Structure 1
């Protein structure tokens, strides 16, 4: 099944909120913007009329969506949308490289310390990214 093409956003129509909070976007009079009745966010339409962007001072990256007639789809799917798979991939690479080296250590006490250190170095960054991704 092919994804549907994006449609032009009608500035006089109500839409569901793309933040997934079951809110409704209503047009703001005399502007090319929408306001959500649930999350109180303001969204603007770009010059082409095809992309809805969230105005927010607290979110560091600009979030944008395209309307396909039924639902909102992310407009910019890239590295910013896939932090978790990248972090898990880096963690796996670190474990594949460092764990065999730690297991082959000569003395048993330094080997255990090295294994624990490798596991902490691999798990803590992945946990931090996971917690940041859940926001």
Structure 2
């Protein structure tokens, strides 16, 4: 008896190979139709929604960030009125360390353009095709 390969398996392998070569793996531009949390993005003739995308958390309203630093400044020059050298015009340096919690309130708006990057996600996410959404982009020529 002759050893033959399963033709269905071979056909599936050919289809997968062709699909891999046709799939676009590059980054594209999408247009926001609806902002988070029920985000919708027009991309390559499709409407992507919250089940298809990962969004940079900095673009979700209510995102909190901690910041710290030092506020460095100086008072304006002031002088006393007596004319004595000890009261001549002078200022005071200010160096105040701070730590703050910032809560961002802005998010994507309909019409905003965003970067859409196709990625392969694991099966636990419900589909193998997912997209990373980031940035907010404008054209400088006004188009």
TM-score interval for Structure 1 and Structure 2 normalised by the shorter chain:
under 0.3
Bigger strand fraction: 2
Length-normalised TM-score, structure 1: 0.21
User: TM-score w.r.t. structure 2 length?
Assistant: 0.20
Choose 1 or 2 for highest CA Rg.
2
Higher relative contact order (CA 8 A, sep 6+): 2
